């Protein structure tokens, strides 16, 4: 039985990946950082909490990383843990650099020293493309990060590539475009929208306050994307791969699709800070812009070219943007029953 270790196992991707690995017959271990109230909600929802062996694990602590790698003796190491919220990274730039950047070399250097044959996956991101230098973005597109988060992830990406080339380690990076699900964190824009719309559809009257409505993202379904992570570590040679749908959508259009899934008929009016959306059926104001959600530097457009992953891994995103918006909106609506 193969053994896998997943950092960030309590996060969105960690939970879906742990489920997939269990289905593939792995003994699954996961890292959890110490907080005052142990939090395994996502593992509970997927019904796998008792099947995953949890270890106290913090990316900021070198000797803790060393001991976990020594004791677990894993065959595959998936590094999914991160300060993953772009918006917070301007307030926490040093912490973000440490957790999303430096921690990657802590892990790689420990693996190199005591477990060099372990296969390694790094959670790289389309946020590294930032001010995009090419459309669509692929594995060879020049990086131009636009946030402290993006800059830290660029370090994690290049150090993974460097350890692969320097020490012949099986270390791969998945350059993943945005992927969402009913388990998505509540501060990310898709989940913020579906939670807010579900509350409005259930009789609430609080409009959802958002920032830049014109930004475009290539959004897929998280459960599809963790399959790609696993496939990367099953290849004979380590490499880097983009996972994306190849379709890009504005925040406004995602909002419309989610509203339609809950039976709303939205009327959009105004521009920039004066933009609003009203549900024609109920007459309720459902969205207004609040500039407090604007970012100091924005990533306006992301659209990925997944052809390398499709050809080499046989991977493809199955859920399209309407399917995703509908799944998330209905899940949040049902949870309020
Ligand atoms: P997430 O839901 O925010 O999960 C992040 C996980 O990291 C959580 O389990 C969190 O623990 C853990 N963590 C945070 N700081 C830690 C630390 N210092 N030590 C140990 N664990 C720590 O993120 P996600 O959406 O699943 O994303 C997974 C990875 O993919 C992240 O690296 C993210 O940057 C990257 N990524 C995500 C996307 C996307 O669209 N979802 C796209 C590209 C790349 P707590 O539960 O205690 O907070
Ligand atoms: O949902 P978001 O916060 O995701 P963002 O910044 O694209 O980052 C996510 O995807 C990355 C991959 O590209 C990951 F690496 C990262 O870990 C994370 O998972 O914001 C999406 C867009 C942005 O343009 C933002 O300005 O939505 C815009 N937006 C508009 N109003 C908002 C809001 N974002 C948030 N979170 N909240 C708003 O009220």
Q: What is the mean pLDDT of residues 268-276?
A: 98
- Cβ–ligand 1 contact at 35 (below 6 Å): yes
- Express each pLDDT in 141-190 by its tens digit: 999 999 999 999 999 999 999 999 999 999 999 999 999 999 999 999 99
Distance 90 CA to ligand 2 centre (A): 13
pLDDT at 121: 99
Considering only CA atoms, which residue is closest to atom 25 of ligand 2? 212
How far, in Å, are 164, 169, 200, 299, 309 from residue 231 at the CA level?
17, 17, 40, 29, 9
| Distance (Å) from CA 178 to ligand 2 centroid | 8
Q: How far apart are CA 26 and CA 226, in angstroms?
A: 15
Ligand 1 in reach of 55 Cβ (< 6 A): no
Which atom number of ligand 1 is nearest to the Cα of residue 60?
A: 18
Distance from Cα 189 to the centre of ligand 2, integer Å: 6
The pTM of the full predicted model, rounded to 2 decimals, is: 0.98
Atom 20 in ligand 1: residue holding the nearest Cα: 58
Distance 35 CA to ligand 2 centre (A): 25
- What is the pLDDT, as a whole number, of residue 37? 86
The residue whose CB lies within 8 Å of the most ligand 2 atoms, and thus the one to mutate among 188, 221, 321, is 188
Output the pLDDT for position 305: 98
Task: Tell me the C-alpha distance between 120 and 101, whole Å.
Answer: 15
Q: Which of 7, 40, 127, 248 is catalytic?
A: 127
Whether the CB of 82 sits within 6 Å of ligand 1: yes
Residue 238: HSE in the Cβ half-sphere, 13 Å Cα cutoff: 22
In the residue annotation, 149 being an active-site residue is answered as yes
Give pLDDT tens digits for 101-120.
999 999 999 999 999 999 99
């Amino acid at each position: 039985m193969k053994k896998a270790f997943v950092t960030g196992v309590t996060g969105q991707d960690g939970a879906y990946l742990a489920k997939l690995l269990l289905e593939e017959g792995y003994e699954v271990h996961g890292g959890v950082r110490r907080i005052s109230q142990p939090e395994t909600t996502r593992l509970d929802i997927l019904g796998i909490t008792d099947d995953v062996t949890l270890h106290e694990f913090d990316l900021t602590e070198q000797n803790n990383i060393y001991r976990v790698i020594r004791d677990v003796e894993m065959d595959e190491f998936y590094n999914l843990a991160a300060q993953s919220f772009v918006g917070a990274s301007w307030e926490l730039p040093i912490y973000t650099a440490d957790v999303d950047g430096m921690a990657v070399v802590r892990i790689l250097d420990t693996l190199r020293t005591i477990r060099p044959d372990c296969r390694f996956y790094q959670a790289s991101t389309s946020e590294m493309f930032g001010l995009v230098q090419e459309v669509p973005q692929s594995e060879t597109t020049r990086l131009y990060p636009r946030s402290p988060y993006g800059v830290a992830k660029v370090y994690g990406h290049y150090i993974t590539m460097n350890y692969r080339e320097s020490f012949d380690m099986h270390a791969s990076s998945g350059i993943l475009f945005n992927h969402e699900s009913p388990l998505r964190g509540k501060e990310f824009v898709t989940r913020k929208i579906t939670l807010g719309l579900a509350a409005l559809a259930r009789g609430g009257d609080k409009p959802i306050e958002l920032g830049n409505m014109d930004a475009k993202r290539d959004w897929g379904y998280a459960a599809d994307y963790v399959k790609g992570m696993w496939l990367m570590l099953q290849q004979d040679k380590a490499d880097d791969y983009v996972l994306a749908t190849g379709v890009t959508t504005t925040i406004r259009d995602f909002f419309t699709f989610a509203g339609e899934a809950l039976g709303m008929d939205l009327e959009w009016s105004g521009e920039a800070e004066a933009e609003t959306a009203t549900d024609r059926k109920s007459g309720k104001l459902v969205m207004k812009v609040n500039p407090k959600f604007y970012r100091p530097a924005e990533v306006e457009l992301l659209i990925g070219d997944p052809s390398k992953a499709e050809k080499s891994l046989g991977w493809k995103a199955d859920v399209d943007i309407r399917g995703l918006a509908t799944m998330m909106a209905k899940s949040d609506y049902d949870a309020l029953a």
